Structure 1
Amino acid sequence: MVWTYAVDMIQDNINKFQATAPGVTVKLTDYNWGQYHDTVVANFVGGTGVPDILYGSDHWLQEWASAGWIVPLKDVFPKDQVDALAKDMFPYTLAGMSYKGELYGLPYYADPIAFIYNTRIYKEAGIDKAPETWEDVLEHARIIKQKGLVEYPIGFGWSQQEPFSIEIVTAMLMSRGDEFFNDKLEPTFLDANGNPIPGSTLEQHIKWVKTALDEKLMDPESLTRDGVAAGQAMMAGT
């Protein structure tokens, strides 16, 4: 069971595997990314359509492992075979697939988080360079909107069902020189008493989002659509 991404390549890998394992038949089922998590959880809870092997995300690993829906690889596969595959993988990717010291999956691919802009629209707006700060993004968006080129120049995919939402916000905080937590895992936006720190980077960022929404620079659908829909809107130039 996988989410719908490069399904032809996955089927090709299955065909190659089946050629080396006579008598074994693998049935591939794929679901849209936006519905994948909830569909898989419903199958786990209902006890029907539960796959033998499936795609998983580090976002859901703790949930699935603590519920007993998935098991460590060592419970199913020979340790030497798992170690042979894992030795060439980046440590952070293995950490993302580990829970309470146990490895639950092998990383298949990793995704970058990138913020992009439309050079054609920038040229039409008379903006000759990319934004360097989030304040630049707001100012450029104001120019683009004022010229009537795009109704909502800024767009994101922050649906509650989109697990990458937190990674997008984390990347935005890091671009401001900060993170949610310090090296001691203490929140950078709260003081020792658990009260919000005035002017924290997180507060600045929340105010940035509010400004973008209040000035109608950010598409309000940013709060309800996923990353795929946000990308499609970007490619359409809307």
Structure 2
Amino acid sequence: MRRGMTVAAIAGVLALTATACGDDGGGSGDSSGRKAAEDPQSVSGSITWWDTSNEAEGPTYDKLVKAFRAEYPKIKVTRTSVSFDQAEQKFKTAAASGRGAPDVMRTDVGWSAGFAHLGFLQPLDGTPALENPGDFLPGPLSTAKWKGVTFGVPQVTDTLGLLWNKKIFAEAGITEPPATWDEFIATAKTIKKRTGVTGTQLNPEGYFSLPFLYGEGGDMLDVGGEKITVNSPAAVRGMETALKLAQSDVALKPATTDGYVAAQTAFKDGRIAMIINGPWSVTDTYGGKAFKDKADLGIAHVPAGSAGAAAAPIGGHNYSVYRGSKNKDAAYLFVKFMSSAKSQELTATEINTLPTRKSAYTAAVTADPAKKAFQESLAISRARPVIPGVGDLFVAFDQHYVKILRGDVSPEEGLNALAKEWNSKLLKNYSIG
């Protein structure tokens, strides 16, 4: 959900790109899709789908595959569960060699640009796979594009929000969540004083620092201008807020090992009153002793910074079609079916995914207050930089963010060091600032 291409993965594939089919973008150069569009019931063949979701979600996707086969009996679908941690490298190795790649893959949004750049993905503009693109939320759809060409169909999306314990807030006499980071700190102090409960704990991953940067008008990169902006004055101000919070007496010290788990556990156990997290965490939160009554969980936008902006990063997954597939018509129909509003409504209600289609936010979906809240948060969210290897940026980001939160370096020193590392290893064609 938060990661993209790794350094090792890129190194292992670049030598193979000469065997990959195609350019950085553009049309498919074939007539695939015509039969699927004009006479879908006549399409036949077998396709393989690599599903990188977790084991608990498998039965719901099996149900959808069964429904697809009932509608298209001439198409056989094999759903193969592939470990998310291994899928990126496994797909690139198979696609580069031309052997063993799936027809359809569930692709993390951080992988799409890299796969497209290597020529492994089929352009989907104008194909039956990308049905009614105007129905997709703009943010998720933007993650599926590379150089103006659509290489994926948004499957599920996510973002970050402010999760808060309504029971603790009520005990402190507070009725509304904080709207700014200054209010966040003030709220945490009031809660600590009146209830003894610590306000929050920060997740020390760079991804979770982005609301602080966005809140000051900062960002990681200016992709169009090929500039590294993670150390801009605005970004430094945002990081200063994160440091102020981390080192205050109203926040548990960020854990440097399994920081995500530590913060999430503290929240669901009721040891902290607020946390920044995503929709994927809600089911786990409901399982905590502090939320036996689900109504005690509140969800709001991430707080705004001094610039008045509030924004969070967009994550999620896309359906991608392998450019070397011999059964593209069948693959297009499968992606079309799986990404339909009806299919997204089913997954949203059964396994708590967040839809990417506007029309999938039906009454049955928005009846869940968590989904409704995160739907609203998507309106203020933005895609991370859409470039090949975006996940590598976070490998270094995590390391420098931890140093900043520990006070080993100042925010300016830490972000300057991060910018230089990106420039020397990953973004050599970019300027700094």
Q: Deviations over 1:8-46 (max 9, x none)?
A: 332211111222234614224154xxxx2x311242355
Matches within 5 A, 1:63-212: 63-68=114-119, 70-74=120-124, 79-146=126-193, 149-151=196-198, 153-159=199-205, 165=207, 168-176=208-216, 178-180=217-219, 185=225, 200-212=233-245
Aligned-CA RMSD value: 3.7
Question: 1:134 Cα deviation (Å)?
Answer: 0.7
| Preserved CA contact (<8 Å) 2:172 2:195 | no
Output the TM-score relative to the length of structure 1: 0.68
Partners of 2:101 and 2:223 in 1: CA distance:
39
| Residues 1:119 and 1:84: Cα distance change in structure 2 (over 3 Å) | closer
Partners of 1:49 and 1:230 in 2: CA distance:
40
Partner of 2:254: 220
| Preserved CA contact (<8 Å) 2:213 2:237 | no
> What secondary structure, in the 3-state scheme, does the structure 1 residue paired with 2:246 have?
helix
Aligned match for 1:8, one of 45, 52, 59: 59
| Residues 1:140 and 1:222: Cα distance change in structure 2 (over 3 Å) | farther
| Preserved CA contact (<8 Å) 1:222 1:230 | no
| Residues 1:130 and 1:83: Cα distance change in structure 2 (over 3 Å) | closer
Q: Which amino acid aligns with 2:111?
A: W
Q: Which amino acid aligns with 2:218?
A: E
Q: Which has the higher contact order (CA 8 A, sep 6+)?
A: 2
Partner of 2:108: 57
Partner of 2:87: 40
Percent identity over the alignment is 18
Aligned match for 2:76, one of 24, 28, 35: 24
| Preserved CA contact (<8 Å) 1:156 1:222 | no
Partner of 1:193: none
| Preserved CA contact (<8 Å) 1:125 1:149 | no
Q: Deviations over 1:113-170 (max 9, x none)?
A: 321221211222343443232122122223434556434x22344536xxxx1xx544
Q: Which amino acid aligns with 2:243?
A: K
Partners of 2:193 and 2:155 in 1: CA distance:
44
| Preserved CA contact (<8 Å) 2:178 2:184 | yes
> What secondary structure, in the 3-state scheme, does the structure 2 residue paired with 1:110 have?
strand
| Residues 1:89 and 1:214: Cα distance change in structure 2 (over 3 Å) | closer
| Residues 1:60 and 1:182: Cα distance change in structure 2 (over 3 Å) | closer
> What secondary structure, in the 3-state scheme, does the structure 2 residue paired with 1:135 have?
helix
Q: Which amino acid aligns with 1:213?
A: A
| Preserved CA contact (<8 Å) 2:144 2:150 | yes
> What secondary structure, in the 3-state scheme, does the structure 2 residue paired with 1:56 have?
strand
Partners of 2:210 and 2:240 in 1: CA distance:
15
Q: Which amino acid aligns with 2:267?
A: M
Greater fraction of residues in strand: 2
Output the TM-score relative to the length of structure 2: 0.41
Q: Which amino acid aligns with 2:240?
A: K
| Preserved CA contact (<8 Å) 2:88 2:111 | no
| Preserved CA contact (<8 Å) 1:2 1:55 | yes
Name the stretch that deviates more: 22-31 or 209-218. Answer: 22-31
Partner of 2:269: 236
Q: How many residues are paired up?
A: 213
Partners of 2:134 and 2:175 in 1: CA distance:
46
| Residues 1:134 and 1:58: Cα distance change in structure 2 (over 3 Å) | same
Question: 1:213 Cα deviation (Å)?
Answer: 2.1
| Unpaired segments ≥5 residues, structure 1 | 191-195
Q: Which amino acid aligns with 2:200?
A: I
| Unpaired segments ≥5 residues, structure 2 | 1-50, 272-433
| Residues 1:186 and 1:144: Cα distance change in structure 2 (over 3 Å) | farther
Q: Deviations over 1:29-75 (max 9, x none)?
A: 154xxxx2x3112423554975432222322222233344x31245x
Q: Which amino acid aligns with 1:29?
A: S
| Preserved CA contact (<8 Å) 1:212 1:218 | no
